[in-house]
Structure 1
Amino acid sequence: MDDPQHSDSPSGADPTRGGEPAEEARERVLRVVAWYSSQLLSALRAGRTQDVERLLAEQRACKADLRALEEAGEDEAARIAGRYARLYRELSGEA
């Protein structure tokens, strides 16, 4: 049986059913962007230059994926959604 708490979908649902895969993916990418923004603020305040540079690079990669979603098909959008769901769990310690 699937564990909805650890599903790639925040609601526990399949991202390709009952919703727009690109929108689901967009929401997941934006959640990761927000996490990076929060960490960037902390790193800036603490003067951790190396962390700032790394976090900015990661955030830029997220934004590139957001642009790619504009032209992505359903399969690509679902793949991105799954990747960002896993990434968010890793980053936030929910894994």
Structure 2
Amino acid sequence: MELRARVARPLRYGPHGSPPGCAMKSATGTVIILVEDENDHVPDLPNKDRILCEKDGQLGSVEVNAVDADQSPFSGPFNFETLKDHNAN
């Protein structure tokens, strides 16, 4: 059985709460994360906020943590990928 969940999480870009050395700019947006599962429990993304940090003009990154109530070996490790040209509609 495969379950899919669409999770929208806020994304905060900027110096407030960001690691040292981040660019002194700020913006907000939304990251949409598609969660797929093939067993009993859909993985959960416990952190509601994501922080994007850009250092010295380099491409920034967003840290995503996931937990799964299933027992090993069905609870991880998790695989994450960036979908290019993905239409969320």
- As a proportion of its length, which structure holds more helix? 1
Q: Which has the higher contact order (CA 8 A, sep 6+)?
A: 1
TM-score normalised according to structure 2 size: 0.25
The structure with more radius of gyration: 2
- As a proportion of its length, which structure holds more strand? 2
TM-score normalised according to structure 1 size: 0.25
